């Protein structure tokens, strides 16, 4: 949460120049508080597992957040009971006229599938476009980053020759960026994707700020200057055993995958992996909720098109 200090205190300007969030007494005295409305578009096959992973991270905040689960369509799921979907998920048509403080769009196992071959691509493109006027800040995760770059910046799909899987070291590029506030200069985060995000394409064809990257994985955290969109190319939400389960699944499928990088102790799949990225993941979501959503969102969400004051 921000610190609240007198308007005329010299520290106000000093701290703001360092990109430290400060709330003046004037603003604090006129601020009204309400629960945040967060929309969660779950594209992963194992809906319940993914819900648990993301909600765990979102819960690590003093803010009250009301979650609305959203499904892309009503097709039958092989991994989630239909009763669960019908009970807890809504369809886009149910919320199309509403506004939300935040939206998270998850990854999907579609790294090798052309956008035109994704059965729900038109609906997803519609939701991404809709969010620009109806959501204060949207977070795209893994494959959703690739989808958003195509819809918003007309970037084509870039596919890696070999799947990226493992836990990689990343570097902070902008020390005062509020999305990475509190991060160590270097931090670990898991990746599991066939998608590629060439740094030259990001720099030359988008207006995104690259906040963290890895020499191996490329850009990891990116955001628009107005904080309306955040892009996470990895999977900070993953549990300790998620990569192990994916590796075992691919082995059984005869894909002959490589052992996830820097994940199993001694690079031995028989040994129990540890979550070495958990603290960074909690901090990332806490920062996004606080600085990209809560501090920017208007108190009144009933306006059709969201306008956000600086």
Q: Which residues are annotated as a binding site for substrate?
A: 163, 192, 249
Q: Is 191 considered catalytic here? A: no
Query: What tokens were used for 245?
Result: 């389960």
* Residue among 66, 10, 11, 20 at smallest CA distance from 297: 66
Catalytic annotation on 237?
yes
Strands (E), the chain: 3-5, 22-24, 36-41, 65-70, 89-90, 100-105, 135-141, 159-172, 186-195, 209-214, 218-223, 229-232
Contact 265, 295 (CB under 8 A): no
Own/partner pairs for 61-64, CB < 8 Å, 24+ apart? 61/285, 61/286, 61/289, 61/290, 62/1, 63/36, 63/289, 63/290, 63/294, 64/35, 64/36
- Distance between CA atoms of 274 and 37, rounded to whole angstroms? 33
Estimate to the nearest angstrom the gap between the alpha carbon of 254 and the chain centroid.
Answer: 31
Binding-site positions: 163, 192, 249
Distance between CA 165 and CA 260 in Å, rounded? 5
Q: Is 4 a catalytic residue?
A: no
Q: Which of 192, 120, 190, 116 is nearest to 157 (CA)?
A: 116
b/e burial code for range 25-48 (CB count within 10 A of at least 16 → b): eeeeeeeeeeebbbbbbbbbebbe
Q: Which of 142, 191, 213, 246 is catalytic?
A: 142
> And the tokens for 37?
């409305």
CA atoms within 13 A on the CB side of 29: 6
Report d(CA 310, CA 295) in Å as an integer.
10
- Closest of 139, 152, 125 to residue 39, by C-alpha: 139
Choosing from 134, 170, 191, 235, the catalytic residue is 235
Enumerate the active-site residues: 142, 235, 237
């Amino acid at each position: 949460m921000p610190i609240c200090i007198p308007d005329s205190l010299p520290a106000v300007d000093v701290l703001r120049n360092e990109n430290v969030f400060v709330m003046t007494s004037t603003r604090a005295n006129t601020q009204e508080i309400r629960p945040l409305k967060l929309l969660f578009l779950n594209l992963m096959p194992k809906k319940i597992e993914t819900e648990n992973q993301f909600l765990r991270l979102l819960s690590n905040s003093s803010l009250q957040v009301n979650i609305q689960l959203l499904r892309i369509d009503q097709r039958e799921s092989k991994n989630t009971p239909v009763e669960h979907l019908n009970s807890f998920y809504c369809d886009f048509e149910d919320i199309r006229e509403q506004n939300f403080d935040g939206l998270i769009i998850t990854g999907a196992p579609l790294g090798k599938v052309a956008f035109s071959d994704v059965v729900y691509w038109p609906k997803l493109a519609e939701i991404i476009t809709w969010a620009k006027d109806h959501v204060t800040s949207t977070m795209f995760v893994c494959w959703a980053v690739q989808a958003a770059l195509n819809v918003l910046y007309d970037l084509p799909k870039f596919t890696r020759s070999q799947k990226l899987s493992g836990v990689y070291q990343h570097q902070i590029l902008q020390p005062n960026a509020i999305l990475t506030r509190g991060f160590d200069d270097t931090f670990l985060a898991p990746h599991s994707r066939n998608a590629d995000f060439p740094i030259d394409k990001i720099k030359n064809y988008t207006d995104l700020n690259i906040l963290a990257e890895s020499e191996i994985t490329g850009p990891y955290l990116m955001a628009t200057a107005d904080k309306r969109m955040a892009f996470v190319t990895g999977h900070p939400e993953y549990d300790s055993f998620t990569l192990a389960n994916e590796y075992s699944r691919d082995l059984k499928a005869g894909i002959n995958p490589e052992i996830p990088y820097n994940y199993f102790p001694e690079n031995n799949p028989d040994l129990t992996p540890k979550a070495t990225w958990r603290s960074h993941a909690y901090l990332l979501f806490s920062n996004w909720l606080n600085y990209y959503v809560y501090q920017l969102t208007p108190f009144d969400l009933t306006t059709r098109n969201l306008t956000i004051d600086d």
